[in-house]
Amino acid sequence: MLMRSILLIAVSLCSLDAKMFQSIKKENGTFVQKGESRYYCPNCGMNLIKFYKTNHTYKGQQYCSLHCLYEATKGVMPRGAKVSDAKTLKLIKTEDAYYVIGGEIRGTMTRNSKYAFKDIGDAKAFQKKYGGKIVNFEQAYATAGEDFKKDKKIIRIKKEKKLYKSGKKLYKKRCSDISANKYLSIADLKAILKSRCKNVKNDKKLQAIAGYLWDIERKGTVLKENDKIIVPHDAKCPICGMFVHKYPKWAATIELGEKKIYFDGCKDMFKYYIPKKKEIASSKLFVTDYFSGKKIKANLAYFVMGSNVYGPMGNELIPFKSELDANAFRKDHFGIKVLKFTSRRRQGCNEGFGGSLMKMLLALFAFVVLSVSFMCCWSMRYDYKKRDVNLLKLTSKRGYIVPSFTFKSKAYREFVYAK
Ligand SMILES: [Zn+2]
Ligand SMILES: [Zn+2]
């Protein structure tokens, strides 16, 4: 036991050194992300080269660890993810991997390390040297889930003790003003720091500044705003029954004088609003701007539809105050389109036919159907004129008085005819 703890301390001391077990040379790794932020974990901002041996990739994103993959996939086991083989450094399918968990070598973002190997021989050799147990991906992912809360807590305490303080100091001293709200992920934010801060080439410093800006400044500005939607603790969404205060980022509200109704997303608010739209003015609807967390008017907002960002109720209409923000978000998150309040209500009818071939074809098809049916009706129309002439002959023979033929009501004609 004593030996083990000494070894652990020794290992952790070693890892203070720049060269950790996970680290590799950049040219030996495979990196799947694009752009400036390709070497950073989109979930935590950490350097992927430094923690390469625990990297996982999924849907074009590369995470530093199974912990971050778990957080990004919200505990739903991903299919088709890959992991770096700790021996060969190749990205291998997680389904084919043997994970050695709980060995003495430190893990990434966890106290319970998890290293993957394609070859069972490699996994066994690693296990022999460092201990631990060999499992498949499913079990490793489940273990990451069990470890998650505890790991997250330890990470938070560590950050609060050191990282945020040094990050704040560095930021105030060396960087020009940066608004963290503008960036979609901590990785994107970290990627611009080199150009905005002086003398921070070292990854540790970059990570400290990014962590401080992302966790403290960004959330702090959101919290400081008194113009955000304040949700009472007992407010439930009338559509789905969930407590809204748990999802402040998604809060939407309808303010009817004293009475305020809260929703855990725009989608549910519109579900409630649409059948009542004649009674409720659109100016009474408010949503939360996705970037700033501010309360904004729904009838002035831009909504991104069909993106890969989900709210508490799954697919969401994601609101933005600025059209630029909405378009940028749509591009980055594969949104289908950006809608305004009116077009959202009328499902895009007022957007014209510009841009979408599908819509043009649909319009053409409708036009053809309409004109064909019009022609049919025209050719088969009832010849009132002819009948009225006959009617005249008939009625005048019998001595009835018939009014002029210019009347238009069919009912009236039938009435005349019946006489
Ligand atoms: Zn990460
Ligand atoms: Zn709801």
Q: In what order do the strands lie in the sheet with 285-288?
A: 259-263, 252-256, 285-288, 295-297
**41 C-alpha to center of ligand 1: Å?**
5
Let me know: does 82 contact 123? Beta carbons within 8 Å.
Answer: no
Q: State the pLDDT at residue 357.
A: 66
Neighbours of ion ligand 1 (CB under 5 A): 41, 43-44, 46, 64, 68
Over the range 43-58, which residues count as b (16 or more CB within 10 Å of their CB) and which as e?
Answer: bbbbbbbbbbbbbbbb
User: Given pLDDT bands bounded at 50, 70 and 90, which one contains residue 382?
Assistant: low
Mean pLDDT of the chain: 84
Q: 122 C-alpha vs ligand 1 centroid, how far in Å?
A: 25
Least confident of 2-11, 115-124, 257-266, 369-378: 2-11
CA distances from 27 to 39, 49, 85, 202, 206 (A): 12, 9, 15, 19, 21
Which residues contact residue 413 at a Cβ distance below 8 angstroms, ignoring those fewer than 6 apart?
Answer: 384, 387, 388, 391, 407
Q: How many residues does the chain have?
A: 419
Ligand 2 centroid – CA 99 distance (Å): 39
pLDDT of residue 203 exceeding 90: yes
CA–centroid distance, 128 to ligand 1, in Å, is: 28
- pLDDT tens digits, one per residue of 210-262: 999 998 888 764 444 457 888 988 899 999 999 999 999 999 999 987 789 99
Residue 14 in this model has a pLDDT that exceeds 70: no
Ligand 2 centroid, distance to 32 Cα (angstroms): 36
Higher-pLDDT residue of 362, 213 = 213
Please name the residues in contact with 73: beta carbons below 8 A apart, sequence gap of 6 or more.
Answer: 58
> What pLDDT sits at residue 354?
40
Q: Ligand nearest 261 Cα, by number?
A: 2
- Closest ligand, as measured to the CA of 152: 1
Q: What is the DSSP string of 85-153?
A: BTTT--EEEGGG-EEEES-SS--SSSSS-EEEESSHHHHHHHHHHH--EEE-HHHHHHHHHHHHHHHHH
- Residue 320, SS3 per DSSP: strand
- pLDDT tens across 290-339, in order? 988 888 989 889 999 999 999 988 889 999 988 888 999 999 899 999 99
Residue 339's H or E segment, with its range, is: strand 337-340
Going from the Cα of 293 to the center of ligand 2, the distance in angstroms, rounded, reads 18
Find the 44 Cα to ligand 1 centroid distance in Å: 4
User: Quick one: which of 258, 264, 284, 259 has its CA closest to 273?
Assistant: 284
Query: Rounded to an integer, what distance in angstroms lies between the CA atom of residue 37 and that of residue 372?
Result: 57
Residue 10: which pLDDT band, with cuts at 50, 70 and 90?
Answer: very low
Q: What is the pLDDT of residue 363?
A: 83
**Nearest bound ligand to CA 263?**
2
- What backbone phi and psi angles, to 5 degrees, belong to 133? -130, 150
Q: How far is the CA of 108 from the centre of ligand 1 (A)?
A: 8
What's the pTM?
A: 0.53
Q: Quick one: pLDDT band at residue 282, thresholds 50, 70, 90?
A: confident
For CA atoms 272, 276, 277, 281, give the dihedral sign.
negative
Sheet (strand 91-93) strand order? 61-63, 56-58, 82-84, 91-93
Question: How many angstroms separate the alpha carbon of residue 45 from the centre of ligand 1?
Answer: 6
How many CA atoms does the CB half-sphere of 151 hold within 13 Å? 20
**Minimum-distance ligand to the CA of 269?**
2
Least confident of 72-76, 180-184, 311-315, 357-361: 357-361
144 C-alpha to ligand 2 centroid (Å) = 30
According to the model, what pLDDT value does residue 72 have? 94
CA of 63 to the centre of ligand 1 (A): 5
Residue 59: left if φ>0, alpha if ψ -120 to 50, beta else—which one?
left
pLDDT in tens, 73-98: 989 999 999 999 999 999 999 999 99
Residue 274 CA to ligand 1 center (angstroms) comes to 41
